[in-house]
Structure 1
Amino acid sequence: MLTALHDCLWINHPWRNHAAEYKPGQLVTAAECGFALAPTLITNDPFEARAFAETYSPIVYKPLRQSIQKDQDGVNGMIWVRPVDPAELDDAVAGTAHMFQAEVEKVADVRVTVVGHRLFAVRIDSGLIDWRADYDTLTYTLIPCPPAVESSIRQYMSSYGLVFAAFDFALTPTGGWIFLECNPNGQWAWIAEQEQAVADALTDLLERGHL
């Protein structure tokens, strides 16, 4: 990792990245910072999983930590957020901990890239549960970040000691922003509408040590 000049500010320290990547910890911190969250269950108990599905259906499955997986041909891939059929929740659930979440009714997603004190928010329209599964279908619109969400983001960044992060939200039909996750090492350059602005902010941070 590089450090900025003058006050040796990291983008980000590797230990802080590691701590901030753990999804269960993210949800606890997000709740403490005032974000709206979807009902969530982490369990390896099939009975608990089925009861959760019955109460909050439809539900989705999410990995506990982002990681690269290889398919049967050895090709790298990701585990996308996907819907869960309650019939899948058999005794195999007991093999390890799983994260289940109530599927959020949404009209779009929002990605907020944070560089120091600067926030760059973009609406992502796709119609997909997990927009990362098909980038070719996405359209982007730059939007403002609501003051309450911005305040929670700054508190969240401070909690983990982060300088850079990418937040993902579901945008509800009533305009609510539901926290989904925060990637402390998130990608940003694929969004042409904000690529130069984010690059300039990172350059300022590295050159001057502040924004």
Structure 2
Amino acid sequence: MDGRPVLVSTRAEDATADVVIAELNRRRVPVLRFDPGRDFPARAVIAARTSADGWAGHLAVGDRTVDLSGVRALYHRRPSAYVTDSGEQAARFAAQENRRGLGGVLGALPGCLYLSHPQAIARAEYKPAQLAAAARVGLKVPASLITNDPMEAKEFCAAQPTIYKPLYAGTYDVGGEPAGIWAAPVAAGEVDGAVSHSAHLFQAQVPKVADVRVVVVGDQVFTARITAPPGVVDWRAEYQSLTYEPVACPEEMRGALVRFLSAFGLSFGAFDFAVTGDDGWWFLECNPNGQWAWLGATRSRVRRVNSQIGDRLCRMRSS
């Protein structure tokens, strides 16, 4: 193993990145962890120059420096959005320059392996594109409606049991505290003019008996069944009440999952499925930066995922 470093781009609190870094440390691979949105430009300095092979120069974060032309891999996890404490107009300008400057260089490093490429992750975060891709590769997809038309929403909700879910899983402050917006049942009578204020995603509610989290790294598939208390629609709202068990992924689905990732240029994906009583697996979404280290009762799978990610980050690209 040579001394080429791995860059880990994520925020300060990221338990999944922590276990990957521990695996890289075990393999004696140099790691530089930083949060571009928070560390740049206050703590981080980049000096990148074009060369015959691509970008060269250095990135320094605190007292640590890496040679950009020697970066082995970029593990792009969950970095903060680029911010600045300047005035409003200057802040917008600086944030865009930082994202396209630092982010652009990090996305164009010579001989660098990406898990996954930041631009591929950004494309894959659009749920409409995910649902269309899932249907194309042969996965079961619940009937879905994206609309800002209250009448369309009412008709859809009246036609079958329906849930509403946000199109983007960002945080939402409630009383000054960050909170998640979970998927929740919605009836036709609950739909009002507020729907017209933004795009909304409505889906036919799958009569599920459990959920499944499928983590795919390259062509390796790791699967865990998640059981929540009866009546819970979104298991993320009941972490303390969940049980987990390792299960096998149906063989016919493995190729579909790999094809899904390939369609977006991803090398990692955390898929969520709703499982019905007849063992039907219904695609809900794929998080291109999803979590997996919290699957408590499936520790062997957690270790295998971690080892597989370590293998990919340490793999040398020939170009």
Match of 2:195 among 72, 90, 93: 93
**1:96-175 equivalence runs, <5 A:** 96-126=198-228, 127=230, 128-175=232-279
- Report deviation, 1:85: 2.6
Partner of 1:52: 156
Q: Give 1:80's aligned amino acid.
A: W
Q: Secondary structure at the match of 1:167?
A: strand
**1:183-194 equivalence runs, <5 A:** 183-192=287-296, 193=298, 194=301
Q: Is 2:308 aligned against 1:205?
A: no
**Structure 2 Cα separation of the partners of residues 24 and 67 of structure 1:** 16
Residue segments in structure 2 that go unaligned for 5+ positions in a row? 1-6, 9-71, 75-109
Match of 1:68 among 147, 171, 175: 171
Q: How many residues align?
A: 208
The RMSD of aligned alpha carbons is: 1.7
**Segment drifting more, 107-116 vs 84-93:** 84-93
Partner of 1:17: 121
Higher relative contact order (CA 8 A, sep 6+): 1
State the TM-score, normalizing by the size of structure 1. Answer: 0.93
Which ranges of 4 or more aligned residues in structure 1 deviate by more than 6 Å?
A: none
Q: Deviations over 1:21-40 (max 9, x none)?
A: 11111101111111101111
* 8 Å Cα contact 1:17/1:185 also seen in 2: yes
Q: Deviations over 1:147-184 (max 9, x none)?
A: 22111101101000111110000011111100000000
Residue segments in structure 1 that go unaligned for 5+ positions in a row? none
- Report deviation, 1:7: 5.3
- Report deviation, 1:209: 4.7
Q: Secondary structure at the match of 1:37?
A: coil
- Residues 61, 209 of structure 1: alpha-carbon distance in 2 compared, 3 angstrom cutoff: farther
Q: Secondary structure at the match of 1:36?
A: coil
Q: Give 1:181's aligned amino acid.
A: E
